[in-house]
Structure 1
Amino acid sequence: MRLVIFTDLDGTLLDHDSYSHAPAAPALAALKAASVPLVLASSKTGAEMAPLHAELGLGDAPMIVENGAGVLEPGAEAEADAAYRRIRAALDAVPAALRARYRGFGDMTDAEVADITGLPPKGAALARQRCHSEPGLWSGDDGELARFLDALDRQGVSARHGGRFLTLSLGRTKADAMREVATRLGADTTIALGDAPNDVEMLEHATHGVIVRNDHGTPLPRLAGEDTGAIRRTAQTGPTGWNAAVLALLQDLGATTG
């Protein structure tokens, strides 16, 4: 068996409030002991994820960045931002009344991003170094949102809700990037963990999916894989639930070393 694990970060491997992964330490150690690659898959930028990748000691495992819009190799040079510039141009082309209802990271200062995310100022600056997608806050009603999304769709830009943000991209998802990375790594068995709507395709595509409980957002609806046992839910939140789920799956799959 060639097992590869894919994980969302905020609210999943990282605590929603503190951004700590400390409660997941036993499972992270078990993955290293069993030589199971851990692929970070987040809405975060490559600039944000690289320090965490190094801190976790994930070796040469690639990172899925900006909701699957890009795949970044550790130590790679800075990515091109042509996709991001195209998204920003599409935003500025929608009717002004609708455009005013959306504030993306590109419309904010580092201080504003720090305030709405809880990130430290340096972390907020890294979050604004975007190459593939634009997260932001929507302040209009449902009718305005429908018109806003339609205007963007006509320009080839799609939108996904993930946690607190409405994120714009050119349509690529975490599942698309997961397929690419799984093939590259020769995986025949995959585990995916996530907590938000932008994780659903990844959870459904994996051999084993785990919905990590998140009490700060609307719970994901029941997925088809839950009826077959391919997808399970954690009883505990964030990295505590992540830890328990990963250890249980490693045991179930016979992928432990001890």
Structure 2
Amino acid sequence: MPPLLDPDSVVSALRAAGCVFAEDEAELILSAARTPDEVTAMVDRRVSGLPLEHVLGWAEFHGLRVSVEPGVFVPRRRTEFLVDQAVALAGEVSLIVDLCCGSGAVGAALAAALGRPELHAADIDPAAVRCARRNVEPFGGVVHQGDLYGALPGTLRGRVDVLAANVPYVPTDEVGLLPAEARDHEPRTALDGGVDGLDILRRVAEEAPRWLAPGGSVLVETSEIQAPLAVETFARSGLIARLAVSDEWYANVVIGTRP
């Protein structure tokens, strides 16, 4: 492809590739690129199916520009509802944990909204850990690599005021039905939640009471179909469980509070 020199040619190339919001994407690419050759390279990557956020190197999330990179889960705008729910229920917050943190978007957004309390984040994926460090370290956050709670320092046990866990919740048999941007360019560990999509949620719920401070809460995003069982799972773990729903964002967040 020759260098793209004008907005109309960028829009045309993106539209031909099936980008629904070609005009908006073209504006973002043109504002990010420094040369015509860079515009062309970015359009080529987008046309090949790379998520726009990976092309740009960032995603907009809860008022922040969050760094992302190929191979890292792109934060979804609907997950802003989880952040809003955490902010709404939080009183005096001293300690936040972002499990399954991916890019660290949720932890960074919570830290920004809650006056920069102590922040820890964790993910099993080394690429996500590297990316998350860029996003949470400006807020004084620390990122750990490992499997769920096993990644966290033991000194956090019983002290966590807000525990956000944007766990994978797509049933294994449905991962193949996801849009190609997610299916082909995001880690399966960030998508696949097991047979019914709730495997990781169950593990988070089971151990949450041991990590939460009295009155602390854990928040997990799930689907509308999974929500009733997810609420029941939280309750069986000894948490006071409830469901928050946003019709606007088509988001469902299960909230469990330690008595």
Q: Which category of TM-score, normalised to the shorter sequence, fits these structures?
A: 0.3 to 0.5
Structure with larger RCO (C-alpha < 8 A, sep 6+): 1
Question: Normalising to structure 1: TM-score of the pair?
Answer: 0.35
Question: Normalising to structure 2: TM-score of the pair?
Answer: 0.35
